[in-house]
Structure 1
Amino acid sequence: MRKSWTKRLSQLAACAGLLMLPVVANADEQDPWVGYNQFMFNINETVDAYTLKPLAQGYQAVTPQPVEDGISNVFRNIGDVRNLANNLLQGKLHDAGVDTSRLIVNTTFGALGLFDVATRMGLQRNDEDFGQTLGAWGLGSGPYVVLPLLGPSTVRDAFGRVPDSMLAATAHIDHVPTRNVVIGVDAVNLRASLFKAERMVSGDKYTFIRNAYLQNREFKVRDGQVEDDF
């Protein structure tokens, strides 16, 4: 009887191993630079633990929620310029119209974006960038790569950051101290906004973040039209 159960367990283990082969192969294909990526991921985690995370925690502790929301709204309003440009490049004229309306409404009636009046009016915010634009044009994502300080990316998305950065507010601020303050506030505010998402991480953190990033980017490039595997 024991031999029979042992044999069955061995067969089940073998079947499970065969079923996992495509998953492992897919992971190797998407993350061929895993050695470097894990090394850079650990460096980023260490830098974050001793700098950005404590700053973000202090920022949340001393900043009233309405003020924090207002700061986030201002940076989102500036980000709508990027959304508008990339929606035009992708030929999404309706979404580009929404982006334009949001910019006008929030900049005027929302006190330069401090209040998100447009969302209350039913003008939902888009989330587009040049990495998605390249994907919409048919360019593959390329291998997964962890960027120093910037975190998870792909080769395509890494190159996409360059034109997007030209549309950022900081690219047009000539006064260096002011530009540095804006960059710092944006970085700390963004890190603070990630605390809720951070609680969802389970299992191996590197693998979880990599898979979540790649799935999310695929979802965005396809505008939510994910192919059914069944």
Structure 2
Amino acid sequence: MKTTTSILSLRGFALAVAAGATLLAGCATGPNANPADPIEPFNREVFRINEDLDKGVLKPVAQTYVDVVPSPARTAVSNFFSNAGDVYSAVNNLLQLKGTAALEDTMRVAINTVLGLGGLIDIASDAGLPKHKEDFGQTLGVWGVPSGPYIVWPLLGPSTARDTVGFLVDWQMDPLTYWHDSAITYSLAALRVVDVRANLLGASNVFEQAAVDKYTFLRDAYLQRRRYLIYDGNLPEDQDNKTSPDTGDTTVSPYHRFTPNWPVFRR
């Protein structure tokens, strides 16, 4: 009962944040603003700052990391962070009532932590256990929480009001944030950023060459990708290219397929 109450409280909080952000965005912009991106001028400026930071700092550091650190060591680092990610993927799969996926993620963490030297070696994948990437932003979407406006955050990049709440919750669930030594926590966070950026070097080069309007390209790709993930790739036929005029998100919650008698999970 206590767990159910906590889940409903989280959902209510996320709904309030998404609704409040949408109202504030509506007040801050004109009636002709993009419904999915009502604070576009602000977002574009943050995007420009992030791009300058990436070109001046993050990308050079990531490239140096790739040039200096041997590939096996980089793979071990990626596996370590991936193993930590399986922890909150398991929790989010459970919250989405995906019991099989939650069990598989839990088994992945156990196997890779015990037999894979703390997650440095991905034994679970070699054993045939699939990896499921879930986050609390997806969970909120499955519960029927609207996305709210598109937001570009400094350093963190593209998000929405809903995904911002999801990020904060996932951060609290991340086992790597529970070190008592803050120096270790910050060092791990910095290494994770470098690892992620290094893994995106190839994709960013294609992005820089292909995109005419990089901001619009990234925004549309992000929103479409998030919808795809919420539905696990199984978008309803009438929702494939439809977005809500209020939120830029799909207008029908996928959760209605599993909980038709639970009004609290409906929009």
Could you tell me the TM-score, scaled by structure 2's length?
0.74
Distance 1:127 1:26, change over 3 A: farther
Q: Does 1:225 align with 2:234?
A: yes
Query: Which letter maps to 1:104?
Result: A
Query: Which letter maps to 2:193?
Result: A
| CA shift for structure 1 position 199 | 2.9
In structure 2, the residue matched to 1:162 is 168
Give unmatched runs, 5+ long, in structure 2.
1-30, 242-267
Query: Which letter maps to 1:66?
Result: P
**Which runs of structure 2 are paired with 1:190-209 in the superposition (5 Å)?**
190-201=196-207, 202=210, 203-209=212-218
Q: Does 1:43 align with 2:43?
A: no
Q: Is the 8 A contact 2:113 2:119 kept in 1?
A: yes
**Which runs of structure 2 are paired with 1:126-145 in the superposition (5 Å)?**
126-145=132-151
Distance 1:27 1:112, change over 3 A: farther
| CA shift for structure 1 position 72 | 0.1
Query: Which letter maps to 2:55?
Result: A
Distance 2:183 2:113 in 1: 24
In structure 1, the residue matched to 2:28 is none
Query: Which letter maps to 2:229?
Result: K
SS at 1:102 equivalent:
helix
Q: Does 1:176 align with 2:182?
A: yes
In structure 1, the residue matched to 2:220 is 211
Distance 2:157 2:203 in 1: 15
- 2:39 pairs, out of 22, 30, 33, with 33
Give unmatched runs, 5+ long, in structure 1.
1-24
Q: Does 1:150 align with 2:159?
A: no
Deviation larger for 46-55 or 83-92: 46-55
Structure with higher RCO (Cα < 8 A, 6+ apart): 2
Distance 1:51 1:199, change over 3 A: closer
- 1:125 pairs, out of 125, 128, 131, with 131
Distance 2:196 2:125 in 1: 20
SS at 1:61 equivalent:
helix
SS at 1:75 equivalent:
helix
Q: Is the 8 A contact 2:147 2:160 kept in 1?
A: yes
Residue-by-residue CA offset, 1:129-164 (whole Å, 9 max, x unaligned): 000000010011111110111000011001111110
Q: Is the 8 A contact 2:115 2:123 kept in 1?
A: yes
Distance 1:224 1:174, change over 3 A: same
| CA shift for structure 1 position 183 | 1.1
Which structure would you say has the larger Rg? 1
In structure 2, the residue matched to 1:66 is 72
Aligned pairs, how many? 206
Q: Does 1:81 align with 2:90?
A: no
Distance 1:94 1:26 in 2: 45
RMSD: 1.7
| CA shift for structure 1 position 169 | 3.0
| CA shift for structure 1 position 200 | 3.2
| CA shift for structure 1 position 198 | 1.2
Q: Which 4+ residue blocks in structure 1 deviate beyond 2 angstroms?
A: 227-230
Distance 1:137 1:200 in 2: 35
Identity %: 44
| CA shift for structure 1 position 27 | 8.5
